[in-house]
Amino acid sequence: MNGFRGILAICCVLACSITAAVAEDENNGKRYLIIHSDDAGMSHSVNRGTIEAMENGIVSSASIMVPCPWLPEFAAYARENPDKDYGIHLTVNSEFKNYRWRPVAERNKVPSLLDEDGYMYRGAEAVVANARADEVEIELRAQIDRAKEMGIPLSHLDTHMGTLLMRADLFEIYVRLGVDYNLPVLFMANIPPERLKQYPGLKDNFDAKKQLLQSNGLPVLDFVTMYYQGGPHEVRKAHYLNVIRNLKPGLSEIIIHCGYDGPELEAITGSYKLRDDDRRIFQDPEVIAEVKKLGIEVITWKQAHEMAAKPQAAQ
């Protein structure tokens, strides 16, 4: 359960409200929203839940954990459905107690990323304490390259458990990979100072990195929220509806975690109920209708990239 608590802590941080940085006149006051599901490939339950929420719900994007055992199932879906939106959930942790995975790169090239059993470390702290930056980059490039080799069309990058935001050199690599591969990275336009305690890697040349992304035509997000907490379905649904009703103009992302409750997911993570609930909520006709009524434009990372790139092209 340590992994669960660790993720929970990170999620509470991400759930902060970040004031929309894009002025209304820059986007005609429009509210663009990416509804994004993490952890595709992590398990069959997550694959099933993610695909259902993309097919039947309003989840507009998902990101994939390439080192995980169920990658081939999700990769096959992505190849068969190239119109949908996929990113790489850059992964340097194998956080669960019962169920583990190994890196994509050859292990002798990334020894500082591995625990004594040859899996990736469970905790983000262990990665921060032990990982060599050059080996992190080898592994992350291996993940992106492997996904491309498997025929997955990619739209963006983000970071599993926020680990790559915790050390300046890892955050540097994260942004550089986005530029090198011409893929947007999950990057918030403004970080409240108190959040830097959780993600100390962000404080190093933050503005310069934002400028680097934007000058390369890569979008940054005005608002990011995540609600990785359990609770009754109606309470959780009300929370999400509240988030949706209070969206400000600009580019926002709601990060969710879709899955199916069942023995597999319950044996992996204490978050099984909330993952099942996220899947249901973002297929709920009332939630879908509310988004429509409010005139919120649900978009993909690919569309966000195109929107960000256009002004650059005109320069």
- The span from the CA of 28 to the CA of 121, in Å, is 45
- 15 contacts a copy of itself (rule: CB under 8 A): no
- 262 contacts a copy of itself (rule: CB under 8 A): yes
Nearer to a copy of itself, 4 or 99 (CB): 99
Contacting range for a copy of itself; rule: CB under 8 A; set: 72-80, 202-210, 220-228, 301-309: 72-80
- 270 contacts a copy of itself (rule: CB under 8 A): no
Residues 6+ apart with CB under 8 A from 137: 173, 177
Contacting range for a copy of itself; rule: CB under 8 A; set: 66-74, 161-169, 182-190, 284-292: 66-74
- Tell me the one-letter amino acid at 243: V
> In this chain, which of 264, 284, 290, 306 binds a copy of itself, going by CB under 8 A?
264
Q: How far is the CB of 182 from a copy of itself (least distance, A)?
A: 24
C-alpha torsion sign, points 297, 298, 301, 303: negative
> In this chain, which of 9, 15, 21, 44 binds a copy of itself, going by CB under 8 A?
44
Binding residues for a copy of itself, total number by CB under 8 A: 31
Q: How far is the CB of 266 from a copy of itself (least distance, A)?
A: 9
Displacement of CA 27 from its chain's centroid (Å): 24
- 248 contacts a copy of itself (rule: CB under 8 A): no
- 70 contacts a copy of itself (rule: CB under 8 A): yes
Contacting range for a copy of itself; rule: CB under 8 A; set: 11-19, 96-104, 224-232, 275-283: 96-104
Q: In this structure, what token pair is assigned to residue 178?
A: 């986005």
Site for a copy of itself in 143-182 (CB under 8 A): 146, 149-150
- 118 contacts a copy of itself (rule: CB under 8 A): yes
Q: How far is the CB of 160 from a copy of itself (least distance, A)?
A: 16
- 76 contacts a copy of itself (rule: CB under 8 A): yes
Residues forming contacts to a copy of itself in the complex (CB under 8 A) are: 43-45, 48, 69-73, 76, 97-102, 104, 106-108, 117-118, 146, 149-150, 260, 262-264, 267-268
